[in-house]
Structure 1
Amino acid sequence: MVYNMDILEKKVNNTNIFMRVSTTPYMHHDFCNFQPLSPEEALEEHLLLDSLAWPDTPSLPDPISLEQTSDPAHSTFTILPRRGGREWHVGDQLEVMINVSDFQGRPKKSGGDVIVARLHNATLGAGVAGQVVDHLNGSYSAVFSLLWEGSAKVEVMLIHPSEAVTVLRRLSIEQPDRIYFKSLFRSGSVSETTTCNVCLKPTQQPLCNYTDLHTGNPWFCYKPEKLSCDTRINHNYGGFKQNIKTSETKLFQSDVNMKVYIQPSGSASVTVCFQNCFTILSFIFLLDQPEMKNNNVNSGPAGYYYQGGWRALRGTTVHQFNTVSDINQCLKGKMVHLYGDSTIRQFFEHFTTALPDLKEFNLHSLRQVGPFMALDYANNILVTYRCHGPPIRFGSVPISELRYIANELDSVIGGSNTVVVLGIWSHFSTFPIEVYIRRLQSIRKAVVRLLDRAPDTLVIIRTANLKALTLYETLTNSDWFSLQCDKVLRAIFKGLNVHLLDAWEMGLAHHLPHSLHPQPPIIKNMIDVILSHICPQRDS
Structure 2
Amino acid sequence: MSKNIIIIIIIIIIICCFDLQINGRLILNHNLSMCSISWMYLSLFLHHIFFQFQRNAYTNVFHHILNAHEEENILQSIAWPTTPSITSNLNVKNTSDPSCSMYTILPKVGGGHWYIGDQLEVSIIIKDYNCHPKTSGGDFLVASLKNKDLQAGVSGHVVDHLNGSYTAVFTLVWEGQAQVEVILVHPSEAVTVLQRQNKKHFDRVYFKGTFRSGSVTETTVCNVCLRPTAQPVCNYTDARTGEPWFCLKPKNLSCDTRIEHSRGGYSHSIGTQEYNLFKHNLNMNVPIWSSGSSIITVHQKNELTVKNTSVKFKPSGFYIKGVWQSHGNYKFHQFDNASIVQCLKGKVIHMYGDSTIRQWFGYLNNAMPDLKEFNLHASEKTSPFMSLDYKNNILVTFRCHGPPIRIRTIPISELRYIANELDTIRGGSNTVVALSVWAHFGNFPIQIYIRRLMSIRSAVMRLLTRAPETLVVIRSGNLQCAAFPVTLTNSDWYSLQCDKALRAVFKDMNVRLVDAWEMVLAHHLPPQLHPQPPIIKNMVDVLLSYTCPQKRE
2:332 corresponds in structure 1 to 318
1:422 aligns with 2:448: no
Report what 1:523 is aligned to: 536
> Secondary structure of 1:142's match?
strand
Indicate yes or no: 2:517 matched with 1:507: no
For residue 39 of structure 1, report the CA deviation from its aligned partner.
9.3
> Equivalent residue for 1:449?
462
Q: How does 1:382-531 map to 2 (within 5 A)?
A: 382-531=395-544
Q: Which runs of 4+ in 1 moved over 3 A?
A: 35-40
* Matches of 1:260 and 1:435, distance apart in 2: 30
Any conservation in 2 of the 1:423–1:461 contact (CA below 8 Å)?
yes
**Which of 128, 131, 138 is residue 164 of structure 2 equivalent to?**
138
Pair 1:173 & 2:186 matched: no
Greater Rg, structure 1 or structure 2? 2
- 3-state DSSP of counterpart to 1:67: helix
Cα offset, 1:247, TM superposition: 1.1
Alpha-carbon separation, structure 1, partners of 2:390 and 2:160: 54
Superposition deviation, residue 278 in structure 1: 7.9
Q: Are the equivalent residues in 2 in contact too, given 1:467–1:479 (CA < 8 A)?
A: yes
Question: Unaligned 5+ residue runs, structure 2?
Answer: 1-35, 50-63
SS in 2 for 1:489: helix
Residue 371 of structure 1 pairs with residue 384 of structure 2: yes
* C-alpha contact (below 8 Å) 2:128/2:134 kept by paired residues: yes
Greater alpha carbon shift after TM alignment, 515-524 vs 307-316 = 307-316
> What do the CA deviations read for 1:146-174 (whole angstroms, capped 9, x no partner)?
11111010000000000000000111111
Q: Distance in 1 between matches of 2:304 and 2:275?
A: 50
**Deviations for 1:292-324, whole angstroms, at most 9, x for unmatched residues?**
5xx643xx1000000100001113210011x21
Matches within 5 A, 1:10-409: 28-31=37-40, 33-34=43-44, 35-36=47-48, 38=64, 41-277=67-303, 296-297=312-313, 300-321=314-335, 323-409=336-422
Spell out, residue by residue over 1:50-96, the C-alpha distance to the aligned partner (whole angstroms, 9 max, x if none). Answer: 33322222333423222100000000000000122211111111000
**Equivalent pair of 2:84/2:188 in contact (CA under 8 Å):** no
CA distance in structure 1 between the partners assigned to 2:83 and 2:342 by the alignment: 54
- How many residues are aligned here? 501
Percent identity (aligned):
59
* CA distance in 1 between partners of 2:357 and 2:495 (Å): 16
Deviations 1:367-409 (A, max 9, x none): 0001100011111111000000000001111000000000000
User: Counterparts of 1:212 and 1:40 in 2: how far apart (Å)?
Assistant: 15
Q: What CA distance in whole angstroms lies between the structure 2 residues aligned with 1:36 and 1:182?
A: 24
TM-score normalised according to structure 2 size: 0.88
Which segments of 5 or more consecutive residues in structure 1 lack a partner in the other structure?
A: 1-26
Contact kept, 8 Å, 2:365 with 2:387, in 1: the verdict is yes
Structure 1 residues 496 and 130, CA gap change in structure 2 (3 angstroms) = same
Q: Could you tell me how far apart the structure 2 residues matched to 1:324 and 1:61 are?
A: 57
2:550 corresponding residue in structure 1: 537
CA drift of 1:28 comes to: 4.7
Deviation at 1:199, TM superposition (A): 1.6
Residue 40 (structure 1) shift = 6.9
Partner SS for 2:403: coil
Counterpart code for 1:137 = N
